[in-house]
Structures are given as C-alpha cells and as structure tokens.
C-alpha cells in the first residue's frame, strides 16, 4: 500500500485529520500526523480492515532545536498480516511538547514513551506509569535535548596501561593460584 492509499484510508476513518505524505530515502512509507488526532489515527491504523498495524516496533524523538516545531516523534509500525511498515511522525512545539499516550492501543508504547519522556522531556498525557526509566529519579533535565548543558568544567581523565615486569607478572599469577586453593 502506498502513502496516498494509506492517507485516503486514514482520512476516511478520521475526518479532518491533516495528514501529509513524506518522501524518504529508504522508500518506507512515511506520513506526518497532527498530535491532537494521534489516538484516533492509531486506533484506525490498528483496527481498520486492510491496515492491521498491530505492532509498535519503535518510538523515538528528534530534537531540531532551535527551530520550531522543535520535536518530532517517530513511530515505527508494522502490519504483520499485510506485510507493511509505516513511519508515522508527529511534530511538537517546544512549549507544547505533549501528546496523548498510546499505551491503550499498543502496550509496547509503555516503556518507549517513558524513555522518550526521560531523555527528551516530551510528556505523554494519561500514561499509566510516568516514572524515569533510564536516568536516576533525582536527575535534572533531559539529556538528549540539544540545549542540555554539558559539563565543561570537568578535567579530562587520562589513563595509562599498567606496566609490570615479567617477574612481577609471574608473582601475581602465583599469588592468585595460592588464594584460589
């Protein structure tokens, strides 16, 4: 199914949704969708006959700071029955970086949304478990944002390989053998 047919099917299922086809180098069908219509579009992609995108394979985000819209969410969907793949993109402004959760549609979205929130600060409204996933609970900020401050005052560390003589090496091996027995 090409992008035009997919968009026609989705616009029939979700009237008024502004969908846009995007050319891609890898020839994977790619469309932009509005954030406010995302849950309805996701249900249509999963439930509509002829589509059957039952698998959310990946969710990530991209930060285009300082331009607006600043963020893009990228959902990779798979329809195993129809042998189709779809890249669904959603643009988000910096001041409104939130979108509805899709955990009720694709359970795999649970940890993927937590990861995106943890690293980019994009909020998923209605998420059942909005805790940090990768960063410690007391972490300040979102490390994959392009405006995240880098620690520039830290002195670079250096290391040197340990140099031992042949006699020291043999003594270390002998001592190790004695401690194991």
Residue 149 has a pLDDT of 84
State pLDDT tens for residues 81-100: 999 999 999 999 999 899 99
Look up the CATH number of the domain holding residue 145: 3.30.460.80
Q: Which helix (H) or strand (E) holds 58?
A: strand 55-63
Q: Residues 6 or more apart from 123 whose CB is under 8 A from it? A: 97, 98, 99, 117, 130
Contacts of 22 by beta carbon, 8 Å cutoff, 6+ apart: 3, 30, 31, 32, 89
CB-CB neighbours of 73 under 10 Å? 23
pLDDT of 151 reads: 63
Per the structure, the complete domain to which residue 159 belongs is given by 3-180
In total, how many domains does the chain have?
A: 1
Q: What is the pLDDT of residues 8-60, one digit of tens each?
A: 999 999 999 999 999 888 889 999 999 999 999 999 999 998 899 999 999 99
pTM for this predicted structure: 0.81
């Amino acid at each position: 199914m090409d992008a035009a047919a997919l968009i026609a099917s989705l616009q029939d299922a979700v009237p008024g949704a502004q969908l846009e086809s995007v050319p891609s180098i890898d020839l994977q069908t790619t469309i932009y969708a509005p954030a406010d219509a995302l849950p309805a579009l996701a249900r249509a992609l999963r439930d509509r006959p002829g589509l059957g995108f039952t698998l959310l394979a990946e969710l990530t985000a991209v930060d285009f700071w300082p331009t607006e819209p600043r963020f893009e969410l990228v959902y990779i969907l798979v329809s195993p029955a129809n042998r189709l793949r779809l890249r669904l993109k959603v643009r988000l402004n910096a001041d409104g970086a939130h979108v509805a959760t899709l955990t009720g549609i694709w359970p795999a979205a649970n940890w993927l949304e937590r990861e995106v929130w943890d690293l980019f600060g994009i909020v998923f409204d209605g998420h059942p478990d909005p805790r940090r996933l990768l960063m410690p609970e007391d972490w300040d900020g979102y490390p994959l944002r392009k405006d995240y401050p880098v620690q520039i005052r830290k002195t670079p560390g250096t290391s040197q390989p340990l140099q031992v003589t042949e006699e020291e090496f043999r003594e270390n091996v002998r001592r190790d053998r004695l401690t194991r027995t």
